[in-house]
Chain A
């Protein structure tokens, strides 16, 4: 079946530091890959997505590249801000319409 594994948090960084949150997946077929973000007190929001191998999704300075050979979709940002503090979820979707989520990684950015 499908599964997503994320690095455990919390990840604590200073403002302007480089961010990487690792995500690897197991899936049948060719999944689409997503990163969702959940800010404190808010609902899940789509951050970025990639639909095929070697695609790069990007939004708000965040990037992730669909790596089929390593079954990975790591999230990166060159310079984090305090406002990026949130929980980040990696997810995938194959033929089924439902998303399969990882367990989430909490990011804390300190000024």
Chain B
């Protein structure tokens, strides 16, 4: 069990550029989540996958954001035409598909800075 990994750990970009982040969940975890955390705040939910299906999207996920999980394993989160307000820590979490309340395991996050 190597845990949830995210790449890159840090990304600095200029306003208007596109960025893509990758998340590798714990193997055999069917559920994958993306959250965004700004300084001094708790994580806010962005979107959720069960296997390859994107089952839920937050209103925070504007049209500039897109997430995929094509083979039900790793996931990517792309932000197009980045804005300074997109600067945040982007967290990925995964959990197993099992009965009862699940425990979400978080990755270390990707810190995005938009200049």
Residues in A with CB closer than 8 Å to B102 are: 97
A-B pairs under 8 A by CB, number: 57
- B101 lies within 8 A of A98 (CB): no
- Binary interface profile of A, 74-106, with partner B (CB < 8 Å = 1, else 0)? 000000000000000101010011111111100
- B104 lies within 8 A of A99 (CB): yes
Residues in A with CB closer than 8 Å to B93 are: 44
Number of residues on chain A facing chain B (CB within 8 A): 22
In whole Å, how far is B72's beta carbon from the nearest beta carbon of chain A? 16
Let me know if B65 is at the binding interface, CB within 8 A.
Answer: no
B31-78 CB contacts (< 8 Å) to partner A: 31, 33, 35, 40-45, 48, 50, 55-56, 58
Task: Kindly specify which of B13-21, B79-87, B105-113 makes contact with the partner chain.
Answer: B105-113
In whole Å, how far is A40's beta carbon from the nearest beta carbon of chain B? 12
Q: How far is B106's CA from A44's CA once the two chains are assembled, in angstroms?
A: 6
In whole Å, how far is A46's beta carbon from the nearest beta carbon of chain B? 6
Q: A89-B42, A99-B43, A104-B40 are in contact. Are A43 and B106 (CB under 8 A)?
A: yes
Let me know if B26 is at the binding interface, CB within 8 A.
Answer: no
Q: How far is B94's CA from A51's CA once the two chains are assembled, in angstroms?
A: 19
- B56 lies within 8 A of A96 (CB): yes
Let me know if A69 is at the binding interface, CB within 8 A.
Answer: no
Residues in A with CB closer than 8 Å to B45 are: 98-100
In whole Å, how far is A25's beta carbon from the nearest beta carbon of chain B? 13
Residues in B with CB closer than 8 Å to A98 are: 33, 35, 45, 48, 56, 58
A31-75 CB contacts (< 8 Å) to partner B: 32, 36, 42-46, 49, 51
- A97 lies within 8 A of B108 (CB): no
6 A-B pairs whose Cβ atoms sit less than 8 Å apart in the complex? A43-B4, A43-B107, A96-B56, A97-B48, A98-B33, A99-B45
Interface residues of B (CB under 8 A from A): 4, 31, 33, 35, 40-45, 48, 50, 55-56, 58, 91, 93, 95, 100-109
